[in-house]
Amino acid sequence: MVARKKKDGAEEKARGRPPRRAAAKGKGCPALIAGIDVGSTALRMKVAELVEDGEPRIIEDLSYPASTGADTFSHGYILPGTFHAIIRVIEDFLHLLDGYGDVARRAVSSASIREAANCEILTDRIRHESGLELEILDTVEESRLVYQALLPWLRQNPGAYSLALNLGGGSTEIMLLRGEDLQVGGTRRLGTSRLFHAVGRGARQINSDILKLVTASIVNSTRDVYQEYHAARFLLVNRMLYRAFRNDPLASRNENDFVIPAEPLREKLKDAYTLGNLELGEHFNMGLADIELLVPAMLILDCFLETSEVKEVTFTNTEMLMGLLREMVLSAGGENPLLSFQRQIVRSARAIGEKFEYDRAHARIVTEFSLLIFDSLSALLDLDVQDRLILEVSAVLHDIGMYVSEVHHHRHGAYLVRWADIVGLSEADRMLAAQVVYFHRKEIPSSRHPEFMALPYAGRMRVRKLAAILRLADALDRGHRQNIKNLRVEIAGAKLLLYFQTAGDLGIVADAMPKKANLLEMVAGLEIVLRREM
């Protein structure tokens, strides 16, 4: 049955009539939201009230053990028993929500469902049986939700560098932060359930060396994420490690987290790893199923500590599901969660540009020009604020293909953007950005381009419009000299007037215009006119 943890910590069954809601305080009755996570080891649901300070207040916390990770990472698909158990638990969750009346709800899943061969079949069946849409998050969306979950802590600790680790069942998200500002991020296919079921099942003494070798190899590959920074602490997001060490005598406790110095923690991890499962269970007061996943969690944490210079580890009592609820709060207030994260997304794009040694000054001015042109044409072209974000990312990264080769750099750039860890930007939006980068020069989008044609009609139209703007902005800094200053954009009848000042020669810009401005003239139906001001 579902483990149900109420505000007072009591556990009871999830079936049956839900408890009466407490009377709302303040003006009116606060709305209710519910977040559901189909995870690698459990299905979880949190129900929360929206209170005046904007922080969701949890009134229901439910959990049901599941073997989705064991199925996917051992067999490659969700087995029939697990398949039907997931649907039954979701129906139980929704039955409970029905007792509350109108509840906004959102359900997500990540690696253990995303990588299953029958992922689409499962999501379709859930939709058919319950009417619930299960969102399959990609890795960058997971990182955005983890960031939202950590945001209250980050705001209370500004200035210092921190390495946030979301150690999940199927993957580990890594974010280098300074206060609440994201510097760089990345994701590795390294998780507790994946490590145990794909590598470490069987006798520990036989598999320990393999576990360590695999883990060390993957963790070492993360050094490019943080090697140039000097983070003082890890922010650890992992429920099992939090439970294991919350009563440790070295822990310095706060309201929702605790801190343990890195060096003595490493000694404790090494000592614990030498114990058998029964001894570990007694030591940490956990069952065998939890201990099986605690061992790889400790090993992963130890490897991260070994490759970093952090002095302490903060064990946070949060999870991705809290980030989901906070995004739902933003949505309830009329905000687009993606756009509230916009600054961090653009910062992540710039970090990728630095990695590929982009021309920072050229990227900056092309981005500035792109957004000026966008703001003048967005109403005419029926573009919205999310399109603006995709254009900004594309403008920042439009020339990173130069890192591979100047020849066909638009193609190389599109590939790099398509597979980049732009934290917070979904796979669908990265695909659009990649196509915008592809068409920022040379040919215009057409049926000759299979990846472009694979997009839905609406996506193809967005690419045409955004690429048209980027092509024009790029032409205005032809030669990468930043000669054009104080750009102004106006629409006058059938003309798009570009007013600017310059002390340089415009010959190279004028030469580029016929080929670079043609797409925008087609999609906007405007003649582009350059007007130099004194």
Domain boundary among 102, 136, 170: 136
pLDDT, greater one: 473 or 222: 473
* For range 338-354, the mean pLDDT: 88
Lowest model confidence (mean pLDDT) among 5-9, 52-56, 301-305, 452-456: 5-9
How far is 340 from 102, CA to CA, in rounded Å?
Answer: 26
Whether 306 and 393 share a structural domain: no
Q: Hunting for tokens 């048209």 — which residue is that?
A: 468
pLDDT confidence band for 196 (50 / 70 / 90): confident
Residues 107 and 175 in one domain: no
- pLDDT higher than threshold 90 for residue 256: no
Mean pLDDT of 65-80: 93
pLDDT band at 5 (very low <50, low <70, confident <90, very high): low
Please give the pLDDT value at position 197: 84
Identify the pLDDT of residue 220.
Answer: 74
Residue count (the chain): 534
In a domain, 328, yes or no: no
Judge whether 332 lies within some domain: no
pLDDT tens across 376-387, in order? 999 999 999 999
Q: How far apart are CA 322 and CA 52, in angstroms?
A: 17
Quote the crossing angle between the two packed helices 457-475 and 360-381, to the nearest 10°.
130
| Alpha-carbon span 257 to 167, nearest angstrom | 16
Contact indicator for 292, 207 with CB cutoff of 8 Å: no
For residue 188, give both structure tokens. 């590795």
Burial pattern 41-53, b for ≥16 Cβ within 10 A else e, equals: bbbbbbbbbbeee
Pick the range with the lowest mean pLDDT from 211-220, 349-358, 401-410: 211-220
Last residue of a domain, one of 323, 345, 379: 323
CB burial class (10 A; 0-12, 13-18, 19+) of residue 158?
Answer: exposed
pLDDT at 47 over 50: yes
Angle 288-306/277-284 helices, nearest 10 degrees?
A: 90
pLDDT of residue 15: 36
Cβ-based neighbours of 433, under 8 Å, separated by 6 or more: 390, 393, 394, 397, 417, 422, 425
The whole-angstrom distance between residue 267's C-alpha and the CA centroid of its chain comes to 32
507 backbone dihedrals φ, ψ, rounded to 5°: -55, -45
Q: How many CB atoms lie within 10 A of CB 421?
A: 21
* Residue 85 banded pLDDT, cuts 50, 70, 90: very high
Q: Check pLDDT > 60 for residue 204.
A: no
**Whether 257 and 346 share a structural domain:** no
| CATH classification of the domain holding 367 | 1.10.3210.10
Summarize pLDDT for 468-492 with one digit per residue, the tens: 999 999 999 988 888 899 999 999 9
Helix (H, G, I), strand (E, B) or coil at 440: coil
Give residue-wise pLDDT tens across range 316-329: 999 999 999 999 98
pLDDT of the residue at 14: 38
List, for residues 163-181, the tens digit of each pLDDT value. 999 999 998 888 888 888 8
Whether residues 315 and 374 share a domain: the answer is no
Do the beta carbons of residue 496 and residue 520 sit within 8 Å? Answer: yes
What is residue 416's predicted lDDT score, i.e. its pLDDT?
Answer: 96
Say which DSSP state 254 is in.
Answer: -
416 belongs to a structural domain:
yes
Three-state SS sequence of 273-300? HCCCHHHHHHHHCCCHHHHHHHHHHHHH
Dist CA 195 CA 440 (whole Å): 42
Q: Is the pLDDT of residue 2 over 70?
A: no
Is residue 330 over pLDDT 60?
yes
Say yes or no to pLDDT of 71 above 50: yes
Answer yes or no: is pLDDT of 23 > 90. no
From CA 190, how far away is CA 214, in angstroms rounded? 9
Does pLDDT of 109 surpass 90? yes
CATH of the domain at 252: 3.30.420.150
Same-domain check for residues 472 and 460: yes
Q: Is the same domain home to 144 and 132? A: no
Same-domain pairing of 361 and 490: yes
Contacts for 314 with CB less than 8 Å, ≥ 6 apart: 153, 162, 233, 234, 235, 236, 257, 258, 259
- Domain contains 331: no
Verify that 355 and 290 share a domain, yes or no.
no
Residue 24 pLDDT > 70: no
| Contact between 529 and 497 (Cβ < 8 Å) | yes
In this structure, the answer to whether residues 272 and 412 fall within a common structural domain is no
Neighbouring residues of 296: CB distance < 8 A, sequence distance ≥ 6: 192, 195, 196, 200, 211, 215
Q: How many domains does the chain have?
A: 3
Residue 159 lies in a domain: yes
Pairing of strands 181-188, 172-178: antiparallel
Domain boundary among 279, 296, 323: 323
CA distance 271 to 286: 17
At 258-274, the pLDDT tens digits run 999 999 999 999 888 88
Nearest to 451 by CA among 460, 443, 462: 460
Q: Which residue has the higher pLDDT, 502 or 4?
A: 502
Q: What mean pLDDT value characterizes the chain?
A: 87
In 3D, which of 155, 143, 134, 181 has the Cα closest to residue 55?
A: 155
Query: In the predicted model, is pLDDT for residue 339 greater than 60?
Result: yes
Which CATH number covers residue 68? 3.30.420.40
* pLDDT beyond 90 at 3: no
Asked whether residue 129 falls in the same domain as residue 152, the answer is no
With beta carbons less than 8 A apart as the criterion, state whether 296 and 302 touch.
no
Per-residue confidence at 55, pLDDT binned at 50, 70, 90?
confident
173 with 101, same domain? no
CA neighbor of 318 nearest in space, from 3, 519, 37 = 37
Domain hosting 37: range is: 3-136
Q: Is residue 301 part of a domain?
A: yes
The mean pLDDT value for 88-107 works out to 94
Residue 330 lies in a domain: no
Per-residue pLDDT, 207: 57
In a domain, 317, yes or no: yes
Helices (H), ranges, 398-480 = 409-418, 427-438, 450-453, 457-475
Pairing of strands 527-532, 495-501: parallel
The pLDDT assigned to 336 comes to 82
Sign (positive or negative) of CA dihedral 257, 228, 349, 158 = positive
With b meaning 16 or more CB within 10 Å and e meaning fewer, what string describes 91-124?
ebbbebbeebeebebbbbbbbbbbbbebbeebbe
Q: Is 447's pLDDT higher than 80?
A: yes
Q: Percentage of the chain with pLDDT > 90?
A: 59
Please indicate, yes or no, whether residues 197 and 131 belong to a single structural domain of this protein. Answer: no
pLDDT band at 206 (very low <50, low <70, confident <90, very high): very low
Residue 88 has pLDDT above 90, yes or no: yes
- Record the tokens describing residue 344, joined without a space: 């961090």
